[in-house]
Each structure stands twice: as C-alpha cells, then as structure tokens.
Amino acid sequence: MSLHLEIASCIRAKSKFSNCTKCLDACPDSITLVDNLPSFANNTGVEAAACVGACPTEAFSLSDFSTTEFFFTFLDSKVRLISPKLNVPCLSVFSVEHLMALALSCDDEITLDISSYDEASILYEQIEARIEEANFVLSAFSVKRLVTNSDKEPLSKDEKKEEAEVTSRRSFLGNASLKGVIKHKMTFDEAVEADELKRFDLDRATIAKIRETNVPDKRKILFTILKQANVPNAFEILAEEDITFISQKFVDESCTNCQICYRICPTGALSSDTKFSIIHFDAMLCLKCRLCHDVCEPEAIHLQPGFEIKEFFEPTQRTLATFTIKRCNECGNNFTYTGGEQACPRCLEEEEEAMFLHENAKKMKALLESDKEDGNI
C-alpha cells in the first residue's frame, strides 16, 4: 500500500503564503517540505497514514484503501469493530469528521481497536486526539460516542467468533474494495525524484485544478449524516480551540476588500457576489485550513471564539462584510469606494505619481532659472 498526494488539492499549492503543516505534524518522520510543498519518499506506505486523516482537503490518500468506500461498506456490514487487525490499514486514516459520521450513522456502538499501538508514539497520540475530539463534539448533540477497546470489556465468546469469521472472510470490505476502490486521484508516479523524495511540478493541468473549488468527501458525508440526525433540544457553543476541522469567522474594519480570501478559499466557504461587494461565509464548508488568514495582509479575518453547534443542523450563509462598489471616474473600472474622490486606488496612485513628477519638474525648472540669473550656466 503506498501513499499518494494530489498536489492540486494541497492548499500550499494554492498559495505560497499558506502555513499549513497538518500533514508534517502528523507524520514528521515521513513528510517533509520540498519547494514549499509536502513531499515523501517514493516507497512511503501506510506508516504515513496519519497524514491521510490529518489533511483538511483530503489531498493525501493510500492506494488500495479509500476512507469513503470504507464508510459505506462498513455501514452495510454487521461488524461494529474497526481494527488494523481486521479491516483498516491504520486507524489514523480517519479524520474527526469520518469518526463523527461513523458514530452518527450506526445504531450500535462502534469500537476502535487501539490495542496494537505504542502508547508513547505520535501515531497513538494522533488517533487518541481525534477520537477524543469526535466524542467531545458528539457529546454536544448526541448520546452516542465511539469507544476504544481499552474502554470496553473483553470480547464475549460469540463476539470473538464473529470477529474471527469476519477476519477470515474480510467480507465487508470485499475483494474488489481491497484491490481498487481508491477514488480517481491524479497520480504523480512519474514525478521527478530528488534525494528519493517526490517532487511535484505544477504543470498547466494541475494549475487549472488548483483553481477549482472542492468540498472533500468527508465533509459531504458528515453533512448528509447530520441532516438525518436528531436535532438537539438546545444548541451548545464549543470553544474555537476545541474543534479542529471547522470554524466560524468574522472580518474587521481593516479589510480592504482585496478579494484574495474569497477567491482562494478551497471549498467556496468564503464567497462574494458578481460585483465583489460582499463577503459571504458558509461555516459548514469551512475546513479550518487557515488559508484565508495566511493570505490576508491586514490580518482582517479572524476566528470566532466559539463555534455554534447550531451550524451543524441549521447551516447559514453569513455576511461578514459589505462594500460600496463604484465606477472609477478616471478609468471606468469598478472599485471599493471608501469615501473621497471617486477614483480607484490605481488611478489615485498614478495621479499622485504624476503630481510628484510635475512638482519635481517645476522645482528643476526654478533651479535652472535661478542658476541662469546668477550666471552659473
């Protein structure tokens, strides 16, 4: 099983200002940066699965295993145990969203087998943190939670029998799934090798893909499952720092409407109208990838301190900022009007420059004339 990266989905490919290090933090031994993009040795396999679950945009994947495919085959099966000994390459392939969606869509409790992980390892830490976060968010609106096998009594005789049968058949994944269910992802097998690390070239086709907005499958699945979930009687507000995969935002008055954040947002969570007179925000599309923050020069976009659980059940499009758009009297282009002369910043700048040159020319002329009068020239 080998690791793949669809570079067009990586937000570092969208902007050199992106500071995303989620995959590097998840797999520091396997992932590194080459030319500001994540890279890894060609033979990297399941040992880097934690980056698959960590990447907000699902840019990483494993050959021969698809988390999306797993989700549906798991629901179809009767087994409610997820284990590297049984049906997944590693528990770290799951993001918090996957774990929440799994818990919400099954009537029975799901057990995650963490018995084979070294408790002192980064991998274990990652898996534990994601399960904890999923259970924490679920606790705000659901009675269901995921359990780990250390939380659970040892398997009964019947359960052991069922587990053994499933292991031998691998029935719920099925042979077809194991052989080739991975989604159609762009592969970079012919990527140039450099120090054994993959190097990703941004060719024309990749650049076209970078410009597209895409909502990852894991978010689509969670969104769909939430539509069928029981709506809680009261909606809690969770602290922003306790939730890693989604956020709510506000924009302050230092925003210049430079348009970058809503043009670059990978999912379209930030958007505008045809005149660019507004900043809209859909929290349910936000991946908390922080790209909008990284590209905002005046640092005008901020995380809201609390995340409202209501957003999961009643998603809204909020207006973060509105602008007055006027036509420039000089060049005729539309611009964000903030008062004063009705001229766009570029024309104002050009006008300022022209004034400066004119003043200089006047001074030079005066100097020449005085030198002439003094008989110096």
Q: How far is the CB of 94 from ligand SF4 (least distance, A)?
A: 15
227-234: long-range contacts, CB 8 A cutoff, minimum separation 24: 228/105, 229/104, 229/141, 229/142, 229/313, 230/141, 230/142, 231/141, 231/313, 232/140, 232/141, 232/142, 232/309, 232/313
Q: How far is the CB of 285 from ligand SF4 (least distance, A)?
A: 7
Q: How far is the CB of 156 from ligand SF4 (least distance, A)?
A: 40
Tell me whether residue 263 or residue 310 sits nearer to ligand SF4 (CB atom). Answer: 263
Name the nearest CA neighbour of 307 among 252, 265, 255, 245: 245
Q: Determine how β-strand 110-112 pairs with β-strand 146-148.
A: parallel
Is-contact 331 344, C-beta < 8 A? Answer: yes
Q: How far is the CB of 302 from ligand SF4 (least distance, A)?
A: 9
Give the number of residues written for the chain. Answer: 377
Cα 197 from Cα 40, distance rounded (Å): 5
Strand runs labelled E in the chain: 3-5, 32-34, 37-39, 60-62, 81-82, 110-112, 146-148, 192-194, 197-199, 237-239, 249-251, 270-271, 278-282, 301-303, 306-308, 317-322, 324-327, 334-337
In order, the DSSP letters of 110-168 are EEE--TTS-TTSHHHHHHHHHHHHHHHHHHTT-S--EEETTTSPPPPHHHHHHHHHHHH
DSSP 248: -
Tell me whether residue 60 or residue 94 sits nearer to ligand SF4 (CB atom). Answer: 60
Tell me whether residue 59 or residue 226 sits nearer to ligand SF4 (CB atom). Answer: 59
Q: How far is the CB of 33 from ligand SF4 (least distance, A)?
A: 8
Q: How far is the CB of 341 from ligand SF4 (least distance, A)?
A: 21
Tell me whether residue 290 or residue 318 sits nearer to ligand SF4 (CB atom). Answer: 290
Q: How far is the CB of 317 from ligand SF4 (least distance, A)?
A: 12
Is-contact 82 127, C-beta < 8 A? Answer: no
Six token digits for residue 295? 């590209």
Amino acid in position 101: A
Tell me whether residue 225 or residue 269 sits nearer to ligand SF4 (CB atom). Answer: 269
Tell me whether residue 20 or residue 137 sits nearer to ligand SF4 (CB atom). Answer: 20
Q: How far apart are the two ends of the chain, measured CA to CA in Å?
A: 84
Q: How far is the CB of 268 from ligand SF4 (least distance, A)?
A: 8
Q: How far is the CB of 322 from ligand SF4 (least distance, A)?
A: 12
Cα 88 off chain centre by: 23
Q: What is the contact surface with ligand SF4 in residues (CB under 6 A)?
A: 10-12, 20, 22-23, 38, 54-57, 59-60, 251, 255-261, 265-267, 269-270, 286-292, 295-296, 298, 300-301
Tell me whether residue 111 or residue 267 sits nearer to ligand SF4 (CB atom). Answer: 267
Tell me whether residue 113 or residue 240 sits nearer to ligand SF4 (CB atom). Answer: 240
Tell me whether residue 225 or residue 295 sits nearer to ligand SF4 (CB atom). Answer: 295
